[in-house]
């Protein structure tokens, strides 16, 4: 079956630091890949997505590239802000049943 | 735009009680689903539907029932609540095919359920 593995954290960084959150997946076929973000007390919001190999998704300074050869979709940001503190979920969708999520990475940005 | 609306936002039940979590979407999405979120477990799929009259089980369906009588609504029923069902529940919907948001799930704000 499908599965997603991501670093769980918490990950603590200083403001303006470089961020990488690793995500690898196992899936049959050619899934779509997603990063969702959850702020405290809220639901999940789509951060970015990629639907085929070598696609790069980007939004709000975050980027992730769909790497089929390494089955990875690592999230990066060049300079994080305190407002980026949240839980980040990597996910894949291979069919009509829905998304398979990683366990989430709690990111804490200190001023 | 309302998007995905869940009610109630908070609920406390006693073991053995029943209740229904409501979910409605106004985006004409074919696909609707329920997830539960537990610490250290991520989100796990409970049930899903690809259209009115069609439902299927996800990863953790035991103790939950669903039905889909209209495109807009997808209620989740707990027939006899147990403490293990204490969790945050999210409803989510999407298009199944066609358009730039295909595959992307849109989430409600969540329903926090405590079973004593």
> Given an 8 Å threshold on Cβ–Cβ distance, is A101 in contact with B42?
yes
Q: Quick: pLDDT tens for A88-110.
A: 999 998 877 788 999 999 999 99
pLDDT above 90: residue A1: no
> Given an 8 Å threshold on Cβ–Cβ distance, is A96 in contact with B90?
no
- Residue A83: exposure state from Cβ atoms within 10 A (0-12, 13-18, ≥19): exposed
> For residue A58, which phi and psi values (nearest 5 degrees)?
-150, 150
Determine the Cα–Cα distance for residues A25 and A102; give it in Å rounded to an integer.
Answer: 9
Q: Which of B4, B29, B103, B108 to mutate to test the interface with A (most CBs of A within 10 A)?
A: B103
Query: At B96, is the pLDDT very low, low, confident or very high (cuts 50, 70, 90)?
Result: confident
Q: State how far residue A98 is from chain B, nearest Cα, in angstroms.
A: 8
Higher pLDDT, B58 or A29: B58
Q: What average pLDDT does range B8-32 have in this prediction? A: 96
Q: State how far residue B111 is from chain A, nearest Cα, in angstroms.
A: 10
Q: What average pLDDT does range A59-73 have in this prediction? A: 96
* Longest Cα separation, chain B: 44
Q: What average pLDDT does range B76-86 have in this prediction? A: 96
Determine the Cα–Cα distance for residues B62 and B67; give it in Å rounded to an integer.
Answer: 15
Query: At B101, is the pLDDT very low, low, confident or very high (cuts 50, 70, 90)?
Result: low
> Given an 8 Å threshold on Cβ–Cβ distance, is A32 in contact with B103?
yes
**Pick from B48, B107, B108: which is nearest to A97 by CB?**
B48
pLDDT above 90: residue A30: no
């Amino acid at each position: 079956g499908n599965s997603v593995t991501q670093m769980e954290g918490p990950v603590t960084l200083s403001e303006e630091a470089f961020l990488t959150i690793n995500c690898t997946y196992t899936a049959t076929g050619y899934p779509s890949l997603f990063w969702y973000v959850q702020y405290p007390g809220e639901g999940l919001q789509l951060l970015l997505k990629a639907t085929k190999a070598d696609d790069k998704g980007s939004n709000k300074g975050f980027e992730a590239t769909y790497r089929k050869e390494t089955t990875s979709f690592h999230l990066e940001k060049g300079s994080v802000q305190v407002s980026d503190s949240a839980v980040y979920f990597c996910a894949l969708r291979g069919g009509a049943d829905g998304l398979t999520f990683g366990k989430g990475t709690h990111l804490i940005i200190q001023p | 735009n309302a998007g995905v609306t869940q009610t109630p936002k908070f609920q406390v039940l006693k073991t053995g009680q029943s209740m229904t979590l409501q979910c409605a979407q106004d985006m004409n999405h074919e696909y609707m689903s329920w997830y539960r979120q537990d610490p250290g477990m991520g989100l796990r799929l409970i049930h899903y539907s690809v259209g009115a009259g069609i439902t299927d089980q996800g990863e953790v369906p035991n103790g939950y029932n669903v039905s889909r009588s209209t495109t807009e609504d997808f209620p989740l029923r707990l027939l006899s609540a147990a403490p293990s069902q204490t969790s945050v529940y999210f409803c989510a919907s999407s298009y199944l095919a066609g358009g730039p948001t295909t595959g992307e799930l849109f989430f409600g704000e969540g329903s926090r359920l405590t079973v004593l």
